[in-house]
Amino acid sequence: MNWRDHCQEKLITAQQAAGMIRSGQRVLIGLGTVEPQNIATALCERWQELRDVEVVTSNTMRPYPWFDKDKSAAFKIHAGYLSGLSRPLYQEKRLEFSVNTVYSPSKWLDPDRSADMMNADVCLLTLSPPNVQGFCSFGDQLWYSRAWVKRTPLVIAEVNPLLIRTGGDNYVHVSEIDYLVEQAEPTKPFSMTLVVSPDEQEAAEKIGQLVASLVHDGDTIQIGLGSVSMAAGFYLREKNDLGVHSEIITSSMLDLYKRGVMTGKRKTLHPEKLIATGMFIEPEDYAFVDNNPVIELRDAFYTNNPAVIAQNHRQVAINNALAVDFTGQVTAEAFGPQMYTGVAGQLDFVLGAYLSPGGRSITVLPSTARGGTVSRIVSMFPEGQVVSLPRTYVDYVVTEHGIACLVGKSERKRAEALIEIAHPKFREELRAAARKRFWP
């Protein structure tokens, strides 16, 4: 029997789906590539008849009209991670931002706590068609979707036949979905890989080579969202038997798997499996990951749990940063108090790697910004700077000028190590600042 015949009583139009949402309700939206774009567009068309619909979204990929200023009475936007589309709303104070890592909302599920990003009236997402057993796939972005489906009173899904299937937790039975909207034109895969800017290309290549010197055969790695960290993965091609336990699977990881570098044979948790909760890959990679039994997407509360991460011996976390101060504090998400993205799972994996036997965390960043006019190694953060990683857990810091190991060092010795990997034209002024701050 065709899945449409089996689910006939659940099939509705995007307009009918949007019509079920009422003023004042909170609506969860699927992340990234699995945004239910047809229902979302239909919902935006109702802006004149709605008031105070709270849209909970993160890293949104499309410029939906609910971002428009003239629709702010109808839609209130709530995000836990900013994209280029949602960032202007934050700067204009038209967006509410949740302070959380990927794993920290698990604590919000305690019965005596409020959980804006977990508790809602409606959940809108995208699924694959049900298979013969009635199970749908969440595609390449799993994250919190299973928890959302179980906790939300009304769940409506767009059906996209192009969504991939993987192993792990990446499924839901169609009986748990209230209504289905079939996409007239299936959404094709699109690039989720961040490209290194031309002015940082040389630095990224040198950083990648230095990162490779810190990664050993048999390590299990995580690569975080960021152009330099994601590019660093391509420099691990000479390694052997690497494994993956990560928040995201990147194209560089798939490249390593295809080359026989990433076998996972020495992993202590889920050997021979690539474990993540989402993918940031190129369109040409989708055919390779579809129905590939080696790849398992699992709930974010599992993949990003530091206690789970630490079960991997020699877990290596590789993540981007915007700046590092003399004591080792890292900001990866903000300029001063102004949010730029979000901490995502970076702190989760830094803690997990710290707890892992033989584990390491590696923070990567070019030594300068703004065309070489600003040092990313700074003596002190400005007042109000959002700190993503506390200095107590920062391990290796890598720029194109070298590697600084901060673990076990005093403030003074941390400053000295970081100055050595700063851009040469800023080192003298940084040394002067260090002498003033740490020497009698």
Which residues form the catalytic set? Answer: 247
Q: State the DSSP H helix or E strand holding residue 437, giving kind and residue range, or none if neither.
A: helix 424-438
Longest dimension (CA), the chain: 81
CA distance 45 to 164: 30
Amino acid symbol at 402: G
Question: Would you say 188 and 38 are in contact if contact means Cβ atoms under 8 Å apart?
Answer: no
Cα–chain-centroid distance for residue 51? 31
Q: Can you say whether the dihedral through the CA atoms of 336, 341, 433, 373 is positive or negative? A: negative
CA distance 324 to 426: 14
Question: Would you say 137 and 126 are in contact if contact means Cβ atoms under 8 Å apart?
Answer: no
CA nearest to 430, candidates 324, 336, 340: 324
Q: State the DSSP H helix or E strand holding residue 302, giving kind and residue range, or none if neither.
A: helix 300-303
Structure tokens at 428: 């003298």
DSSP notation for 330-345: EESSEETTEESS--TT
Strand pairing partners for 220? 243, 315
Sheet architecture: strand order including 360-364: 167-168, 295-297, 274-276, 243-245, 220-223, 315-320, 360-364, 396-399, 402-405
CA nearest to 341, candidates 167, 62, 75, 83: 83
R_g (Cα) of the chain, nearest Å? 22
CA distance 204 to 198: 10
Structure tokens at 132: 């013969």
Question: Would you say 277 and 300 are in contact if contact means Cβ atoms under 8 Å apart?
Answer: yes
Percent of the chain as helix, strand, coil, to the nearest 5: 30, 20, 45
Helix (H) and strand (E) counts in the chain: 15, 27
